[in-house]
């Protein structure tokens, strides 16, 4: 019976030497992303972020004012690309940015014009 116990101890020791492999940690994502919206439009505008086909509401910018939103870093996800969408309240007017690729430490400034088609965005 002793040879069986010795074999079991060797087998347990051999298996115990392996450590469970954990998936690699995701690349450093920013903990927060600042989105500064300057609204020159005469209507309030609801701001959304689209990522991977999913839309999340960020907030509302009152007509002719500015607003800074602090968004959680996970909003950019692994791909780090997002699209901003603005919808004027009480109107069919809307605007979409091109795809923005956000890197750690960057902020977004989006200027909404009275004609939303002329709006501009910058990533700094």
* Arithmetic mean of pLDDT, 34-52: 97
Share of the chain above pLDDT 70, in %: 76
Reply yes or no on whether the pLDDT at 111 is more than 90: yes
- Fold annotation for 29-123: Immunoglobulin-like (2.60.40)
Q: Residue 1: what pLDDT?
A: 55
Within 13 Å of residue 52, how many CA atoms lie on the same side as its CB?
7
Cα angle: 122, vertex 104, 37; to 5 degrees: 35
Band the pLDDT of 25: cuts 50, 70, 90: very low
Q: What is the DSSP string of 38-90?
A: EE-SSS-EEEEEEETTEEEEEEEE-TT-EEEEEEEGGGGTTTTEEEEEEEETT
Q: Residue 77: what pLDDT?
A: 80
Q: Where are the domains of the chain?
A: 29-123
* Arithmetic mean of pLDDT, 42-46: 98
Q: Residue 8: what pLDDT?
A: 52
Reply yes or no on whether the pLDDT at 19 is more than 70: no
Q: Residue 79: what pLDDT?
A: 81
């Amino acid at each position: 019976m002793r040879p069986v116990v010795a074999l079991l101890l060797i087998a347990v020791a051999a298996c115990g030497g392996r450590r469970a492999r954990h998936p690699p940690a995701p690349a450093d994502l920013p903990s927060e992303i600042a989105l500064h919206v300057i609204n020159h439009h005469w209507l309030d505008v609801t701001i959304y972020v689209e990522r991977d086909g999913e839309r999340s509401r960020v907030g509302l910018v009152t007509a002719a004012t500015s607003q800074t939103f602090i968004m959680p870093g996970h909003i950019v996800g692994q791909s780090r690309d997002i699209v901003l969408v603005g919808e004027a309240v009480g109107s069919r007017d809307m605007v979409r940015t091109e795809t923005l690729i956000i890197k750690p430490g960057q902020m977004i400034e989006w200027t909404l014009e009275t004609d939303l088609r002329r709006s501009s965005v910058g990533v700094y």
